Amino acid sequence: MCGIFGFVLLKPQGIVLALKVLSILETHQYPNEKNPVGGHGVGIYFLDVEGRESFIKVGKTNKSPTKLLAENFLETKLQARLFLGHVRWASPDFLNTVAFKECTQPYVAACSKHLRIISVHNGFVENYKERRAKLRLKHCFESEKKGVLIDSEVLPHYLEELLLGKVDVTEALSMLSSRLENQKGNTIGMLLFGEEKLGDCLVFIHHGRTRGLTIWSNSKGEILFSSRKEPIQQVIGEFLRKHNFKEKVSIGWKESKHLNPTIFSLPPSSTE
C-alpha cells in the first residue's frame, strides 16, 4: 500500500516544502510495520501561481524516487496553491511495474473536454478488471502503454463516466464508494475540475484498512491531507497551528473504518 499527501491553500507554498513532506512519508514506517510507505515510485501534480499545470513522475531507481524528483526543483522557488502527491509501494500483483513512471500516480482522467479528474489512491481495487471492462466510453489509460493496467487508474475513469452520464457528484461518489465496499482497504483522494454542476472540488472515499488518512481544514476552506500525521507535524505543524487547521478526519494505520464520500469545494483563488 502507498501514501498520499496534498493541499488546497489560499496562500501558495513552496514545492520544495511539499517534497520534503513526501520524502519523509516515503520512508515512514512504524516499528511493527512490514514495509515503508513508499520507495517504488513517486508522482506529483500541482498548479503554480500562474495557473499552469505540472505532472512529474519517477519510477523505482537505485536511489530514493522522491529525492530524484526533488532534483528538478533544487534551483527554483516554484510555489503552488494546489498540490497532490503520491509515494508508491506496489501491490504484489504489480511488482514487475515499479520501474515505469507510467505506473505511478497521480492519474488523470480527461477523456472529455468538460471534465478533468486527478486521482491519488492507497489500497488495492480487487475488481478493477471487471470495472474496466464495463466502461462504455473511450478511455485512455497511461499504464496500458506499458502493457499492464494498474488498478488505481480505473478509479478516476469510472467516476468520469458516471459524471459524464449526468449523475451528480454526490450520487456518483456514492456509487463508486459502494463498488469498493467489502474489499480489504482503499483510500482515494480526487480533484474534480468540471463545468457547471460538476464542480471544482476535492473529494475523498475510504473503506477498510490502509496506510491511514488524516484531513485537516480551516474556516477559510483550505484543506490539507496525508496518509500519515508524522511527516505533516514534522515539516508544517507550525503552519497548521498558525492558520487554525483542525482535524476533520482521522483514520490510523490498520484501523478498519468507513468514511462516507466527503466533498470539499475548492477556494476560488486556488485554481486561478
Which pLDDT does position 272 carry in this prediction?
54
Which pLDDT does position 269 carry in this prediction?
63
Q: pLDDT over 90 for what percent of the chain?
A: 80
Whether residue 208 has pLDDT greater than 70: yes
Looking at mean pLDDT, say which of 26-35, 45-54, 177-186 comes out highest. 26-35
Which pLDDT does position 134 carry in this prediction?
92
Q: What is the domain-level CATH number for residue 159? A: 3.60.20.10
Element (DSSP H or E) covering residue 205: strand 200-208
151-160 mean pLDDT: 96
For 73-98, the pLDDT digits (tens) are 877 889 999 999 999 999 988 999 99
Which residues lie closer than 8 Å to 167 by C-beta, 6 or more apart? 175
Which residues lie closer than 8 Å to 260 by C-beta, 6 or more apart? 177
Number of compact structural domains in the chain: 1
Which pLDDT does position 88 carry in this prediction?
98
228-248 mean pLDDT: 96
Which pLDDT does position 215 carry in this prediction?
98
| Residue 145: DSSP 8-state | G
Element (DSSP H or E) covering residue 133: helix 128-133
Whether residue 271 has pLDDT greater than 70: no
pLDDT confidence band for 267 (50 / 70 / 90):
confident
> Is 92 in a helix, a strand, or coil?
helix
Q: Which of 45-49, 162-166, 193-197 has the lowest mean pLDDT?
A: 193-197
Whether residue 199 has pLDDT greater than 80: no
Q: 81: domain range?
A: 3-271
Contact of 29 with 228, CB cutoff 8 Å:
no
User: All 3 cell numbers of residue 137?
Assistant: 466510453
Whether residue 185 has pLDDT greater than 90: yes
pLDDT confidence band for 50 (50 / 70 / 90):
confident
Q: Across-strand partners of 79?
A: 14
For 107-134, the pLDDT digits (tens) are 999 988 889 999 999 999 999 999 999 9
Contact of 43 with 86, CB cutoff 8 Å:
yes
